[in-house]
Copies of this chain bind each other. A is one copy, B any other.
Amino acid sequence: MSTNGDRAFPTPSVRRLPIYLSLLRRLYRDGLESVSSTKIADELGLTGIQVRKDLSMTGIVGRPKVGHSISELIEHIEGFLGWDKRRQAFLVGAGHLGAALLGYKGFAQENLDIIASFDTSPEKIGKVILGRMTYDLAEFVAMTKKHHVQMAILTVPASCAQDVTNLMVDAGIIGIWNFAPVQLSAPPHIIIENVSLSSSLAILSQKLTQREAQTRGKSEEKS
């Protein structure tokens, strides 16, 4: 028995794969058939070593002189990410952010299909938002089991995010894409990926604040 399947790949490398895909698709549209890792590195401001390491993670064998076939690279990366197969997901929380994700066109390329959304608000239940029906959250468990859905997108307020997470776990959801600004607790077999707008804003605000303090310091020195 191989234990390879248990291996956790480095997060920064996996995060870079969509950026490679985006570049490779552009080069392919421009009529190119092959590309070297050095060229990829130059285009993306990375080192050649980093690019070769990232690509080899997906099972691609390097070809130093010839370069890689672009269509093969795309195929490998998509396969590694599971973007070569259609994945169905439910969305819980049909507010502004939920609607934005329902309307996000980029997911088509990533083969993500948000098939329905759920909410507890009587004004939203039964409404079709951007082509997807909004169901009563009370139907979530039954619907998840019926459609064998394994992934759910969480766009509810922080205050009810943990309760909805518990419901998702009970329903058999395995992967939760969490947009609520809260740390969720879940059994270890559940995969949680957080998109924290607050954390991202914190990084930007802190740097801007620091920059402003420097600028003030410099102008005080001059005066």
Q: Is A221 an interface residue (CB 8 A)?
A: yes
Q: Count copies of this chain in the complex.
A: 2
Residue of B nearest to A23 (CB): B183
Type the 1/0 row for A164-186, where 1 means its CB is closer than 8 Å to any CB of B.
00000000001101000111000
Q: Is A51 an interface residue (CB 8 A)?
A: no
12 A-B residue contacts at CB 8 Å? A5-B217, A7-B210, A9-B206, A14-B206, A19-B183, A80-B209, A82-B206, A96-B103, A97-B104, A99-B100, A151-B208, A193-B204
Q: Are B174 and A211 in contact (CB under 8 A)?
A: yes
A residues adjacent to B (C-beta < 8 A): 1-2, 5-7, 9, 11, 14-19, 22, 44-45, 80-83, 87, 95-97, 99-104, 106-107, 110, 112, 130, 150-151, 158, 174-175, 177, 181-183, 191, 193-214, 217, 221
Q: A4 CB to closest chain B CB, in angstroms?
A: 9
Known contacts A17-B206, A81-B209; 12 further A-B pairs (Cβ under 8 A): A6-B214, A9-B206, A14-B202, A19-B198, A80-B209, A82-B212, A96-B103, A106-B197, A110-B198, A191-B211, A193-B200, A193-B201
